[in-house]
Each structure stands twice: as C-alpha cells, then as structure tokens.
C-alpha cells in the first residue's frame, strides 16, 4: 500500500484530493494547521469514502512536528497544498507569505530528504505566467509574477527544480492549476472562503444564496468577446484526479516536470454568471465596475502535455461546475462545521 502525506489536506483542493486518493487505494495522512479550514472536513471525507484519514494538526514551520509524522508513518510520497493563497492579502503582509510559503515549504522538503522520501507533487498555479504573450498558455511560456503570493509559487518551483538537479533520486511534479471551482457531487465538500470572497464563483454563490446583493464585474472593456475577463475554470474533482495521474507518473519517472491542469477552454465573467443562473434557477444581479488592479484579460491552458504525459484531461464543463458549486452552497450555507 502506498502512503501519501497530504499537506493542507482539510482545504478545498486538498480535501477533494484526499477523496480521490482513498478511492484510488492509497493510504492518506493529512497535515493541516487549520488556519483556513476545520477538522470537520475529515468527517466529510469519511462520509464519502468510508475512511477517515489519519490527521496531524501541524504547521509546516514546525520541524519537530514534521519529523514526528515521518517517524510514525512510512510516507512514500507527499502532495503539498499547505500555504497561504490570497493574492490581495499577500500584498498586504508579504513577510507572512514568504515565511509560511517559502520557509515552511523548505522545512518540509528538508524533512522529506532526511527521511528519504523523494517524491513530491506540488500545488503551483497559472499565476506564475503573469500576463501571457498569447493563449493558450503552454508550460514553456515565460514566467512572471506580479504579487508575493505568485512569487512564492514560482520560488517553490525554482527550489524544487534545483533540488532535483542536485539529487537524481528526486521526482517532483509541479502542477500549475488554472481556476479551480465546483464541488464534490455529494455536496459534502466544497469551497469555504474566509470572509468576503475575492474569487468569482464563490462570490457569485453568495449572491445566489442572498448573502451578497450583487456581483461586481471588474471591468467590461477588456479585448474579449463580451469585454469581461476570460479564465480557464476547472472542476475541482478533475483537478483532484490530475493529482492521482501525477502520482502514478511519478512512480515511474525521476526528475522534475511542470504540467498545466486546465480545460483548455476560456469562459468570460458574464458567461460564468449566466451558467450559474441556469444552475440556481434565478436571475443574478450584477454591476459593471472599474477593472481590478493586476487583472489580465485572458488566460487559458494548453493541455496537451497533461494528456501526453499523464493521460489526463478534464471531464466536466462549466454547467456541471456551477451545478455542483450551487448544490454545495445550498447544503452548506454556513460552510463546513
């Protein structure tokens, strides 16, 4: 049996990946400091799979806590989600982001090395591409970040690339997520943002359930079909399955690979809003506002490498993503308790 340590395993993408891992026959150990999630998520994972992952409430900055996990469990691979992830917040408190996302991650990698665990899947982001020169975006495109959060993702990629070049026994898969949305079809797992959501779909969900008055559309003067921003939205369950494919690939290969996880299809803000109206059966109010600083017009993935290397491609379209998001929202108006 292969045992996988999932850091940040009670978070949005982490919890969905735990479900996919258990259903694929892996043993799962979860590490989380519960800064941005809560332990009740473990019970939801158990309700879906029949298995409650072994849990350690640990911070990746706590080296002794990390050592204990590796001493008490034979960890064969790590999927590393733990990290702060709010773009705007990272501009306000950069040192907190660099300490947690860089120092914490290096702590984890050092611990893995010391315990001879040299297989890692890392949660990176399409944000490392900055404003792309063209679309679709492929993995060989230039990288450029415009905020501390994105910088920590790119720095982790560089650290892990250097680590693989220093020791050929390492395997590292850097998964560059586009825009994860949606929820598990059971409605037991989903995205629970802290406070007012920054991201589009969690905000629309709050408008749909009456918690927010209307959607602020950040600009409709972009060079896109309807003037609003275009992004590559990917179902979180497709994203989770991509991690299983990455682990299987890592079991057969050494070295570092960076791979886009997206659908290869771009949808505008208004197209997503209309898809959500279909899902919830209501007309959703919105107002056109000024552009949001730092936003780009269009971003969507070239997905050929994921298909070629991992044999993976996204299965779900925008309607299913919105239906599953709405189902979770209706069943969990106050999040997961």
Which residues of the chain form contacts with ligand WQD (CB under 6 A)?
Answer: 85, 87, 125, 127, 179, 198-200, 203, 216-218, 229, 231, 269, 292, 295
184 or 231: CB nearest ligand WQD: 231
Q: Strand 298-299 to strand 230-231: parallel, antiparallel, or no bridges (unpaired)?
A: parallel
Question: Which residue's Cβ has the minimum distance to ligand WQD?
Answer: 229
Shortest CB 91 distance to ligand WQD, Å: 12
227 or 317: CB nearest ligand WQD: 227
Shortest CB 34 distance to ligand WQD, Å: 20
Catalytic residue among 149, 203, 233, 267: 149
Shortest CB 214 distance to ligand WQD, Å: 10
How is residue 122 written in tokens? 């890392």
63 or 98: CB nearest ligand WQD: 98
Other Cβ atoms closer than 10 A to 150: 22
Q: Is position 129 annotated as part of the catalytic site? A: no
Phi (first) and psi of residue 97, to 5 degrees: -70, -45
- Closest CA relative to residue 267, chosen from 224, 221, 230, 298: 230
Shortest CB 54 distance to ligand WQD, Å: 27
Contact call for residues 194 and 36 (beta carbons, < 8 A): yes
200 or 237: CB nearest ligand WQD: 200
Other Cβ atoms closer than 10 A to 327: 19
- Closest CA relative to residue 22, chosen from 300, 325, 245, 244: 244
Q: Determine the 3-state secondary structure of 230 from DSSP.
A: strand
Q: Where in the sequence numbering do the catalytic residues fall? A: 149
């Amino acid at each position: 049996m292969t045992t996988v340590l999932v850091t940040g395993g009670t978070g949005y993408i982490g919890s969905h990946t735990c479900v996919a891992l258990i259903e694929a026959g892996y043993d799962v150990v979860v590490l989380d400091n519960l800064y941005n999630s809560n332990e009740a998520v473990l019970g939801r994972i158990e309700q879906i799979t029949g298995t409650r992952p072994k849990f350690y409430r640990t911070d990746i900055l706590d080296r002794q806590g990390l050592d204990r996990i590796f001493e008490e469990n034979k960890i064969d691979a790590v999927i590393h989600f733990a990290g702060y992830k709010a773009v705007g917040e990272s501009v306000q408190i950069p040192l907190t982001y660099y300490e947690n996302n860089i120092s914490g991650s290096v702590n984890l990698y050092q611990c893995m090395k010391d315990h001879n665990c040299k297989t890692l899947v890392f949660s990176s982001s399409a944000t490392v591409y900055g404003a792309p020169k063209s679309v679709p975006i492929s993995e060989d495109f230039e990288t450029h970040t415009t905020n501390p959060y994105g910088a920590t993702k790119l720095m982790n990629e560089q650290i892990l690339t250097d680590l693989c070049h220093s020791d050929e026994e390492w395997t590292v898969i850097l998964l560059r997520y586009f825009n994860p949305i949606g929820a598990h079809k059971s409605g037991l797992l989903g995205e629970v943002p802290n406070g007012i959501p920054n991201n589009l779909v969690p905000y629309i969900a709050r408008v749909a359930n009456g918690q927010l008055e209307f959607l602020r559309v950040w600009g409709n003067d972009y060079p896109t079909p309807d003037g609003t921003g275009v992004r590559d939205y990917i179902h979180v369950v497709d994203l989770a399955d991509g991690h299983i494919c990455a682990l299987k690939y890592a079991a057969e290969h050494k070295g570092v690979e960076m791979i886009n996880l997206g659908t290869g299809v771009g949808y505008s803000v208004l197209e997503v809003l209309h898809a959500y109206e279909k899902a919830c059966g209501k007309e959703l109010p919105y107002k056109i506002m000024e552009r949001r600083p730092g936003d780009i017009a269009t971003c969507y993935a070239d997905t050929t490498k994921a298909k070629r290397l991992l044999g993976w491609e996204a299965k779900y379209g925008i309607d299913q993503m919105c239906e599953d998001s709405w189902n979770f929202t209706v069943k969990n108006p106050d999040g997961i308790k």
